[in-house]
Amino acid sequence: MNSQEKTSHICILMTTYNGEKFLAEQLQSIEEQSHKNWRLIISDDGSSDKTLAIAKQYQQKWGGNLLEIHQGPRQGFCQNFLSMACDTSIHADLYAFSDQDDIWMPDKLERAAAYFNKSNESQLPRAYGTRTQIVDDSLKPLGLSPEFTLPRSFRNALIQSIAGGNTQVFNLAAKELLEHAGPQITISHDWWLYQVVKGAGGIFYYDPTPSLLYRQHPSAVLGSNNSFRNRIERLRYVFNGRFKNWNDINYAALCNIRHLLTKDNQDILDVFGRFRGAHLKDRIRLLEVCGLYRQTWQGTLSLWLATIINKI
């Protein structure tokens, strides 16, 4: 690791809620990062277990300059993450989202810093995300999250999130963009970061090498979306209208920040809005005009199905 990478100050933004079972392991993995220039902010959303006690133990161990504990807005995980991402008083070179129950690989922050330090495009909103190594409660490997190879674009971001927030790191320009957007009501912070960065003409880099162990357990907020069962579940989301509801919420949020998008992406958003309210023949035509796509052929097939049955 060169001296430039060491100087990248990374602020880790972690949300917690009743996470006593695995929090200490996650905090320990952060402590063991090869990139040492970091600090952690924990925003707790009203835990009733020992989560805060564990956090305070590490605060005493590390010092208040390395670990701050905030009170979350108690409006769910997405708004909790955005409350920190949109906080203008939080300053750093880079920012990393963190869940409470993963285990970070020792070079997670080092690899992210190395990516950002390869380029001096500091004024351009840039974000970074990776695959994950999926494990069970006892850390037994269950496989990898999907590897996505198609271009990262606003046309993809409109209808798909490609990297878990627990893997994401972003620069100051991206954080300032989120600050300007404000804490919009949206489906998830990771999907929102992808949409906003690409919508504003920024870069989203997808690293196919996993950066953390991602636990799959009954209390996990979101799943890996990689199993056959989860693929069937996503099809069910199309039929029961959940996918459409997600798009309703995200579309409204994007319309609220339309002024932050590039002119080309404003046009794409406008076509997307017309497409969603059109008759079948026009929906098929406008889907092609809009150029929407998902990262896998199964996903694109479900997109066409949602278009045909007007559930998008």
**Neighbouring C-alpha atoms within 13 Å toward the C-beta of 202:** 30
Going by pLDDT thresholds of 50, 70 and 90, the confidence category of residue 228 is low
> What 8-state DSSP symbol labels residue 167?
G
Domains of the chain, by residue range, sit at 3-215, 228-308
288-302, pLDDT tens digit by residue?
999 999 999 888 888
Task: From 26, 292, 8, select the one nearest 172 (Cα to Cα).
Answer: 8
One-letter amino acid for residue 158 of the chain: L
280 CB burial (10 A radius; 0-12, 13-18, 19+)? exposed
Largest CA distance in the chain: 63
**CB-based burial, 217-256: b 16+ in 10 Å, e otherwise:** eeeeeeebebeeeeeeeeeebbeeeebbebbeebeebbee
The per-residue pLDDT for range 156-213, each reduced to its tens digit, is 999 999 999 999 999 999 999 999 999 999 999 999 999 999 999 999 999 999 999 9
Query: What is the value of pTM for the model shown?
Result: 0.92
Q: Give per-residue pLDDT as tens, 214-226.
A: 998 654 444 445 5
What CA–CA distances, in Å, run from 97 to 47, 59, 182, 266? 19, 19, 17, 27
Determine contact, residues 26/99, Cβ cutoff 8 Å: yes
Residue 227: predicted pLDDT: 53
- 234: number of CA atoms within 13 Å, CB side? 20
Confidence class for position 234, pLDDT limits 50, 70, 90:
low
Identify the residue with better confidence: 311 or 237: 311
DSSP conformation letters of 259-285: GGS-HHHHHHHHHHHHHHTS-HHHHHH
Stretch among 31-35, 49-53, 121-125 having the lowest mean pLDDT? 121-125
pLDDT of residue 58: 98
The architecture of the domain spanning 3-215 is Alpha-Beta Complex (3.90)
β-sheet bridge partners, residue 44: 16, 71
Length in residues, the chain? 312
Weakest mean pLDDT among 29-33, 121-125, 255-259, 278-282: 121-125
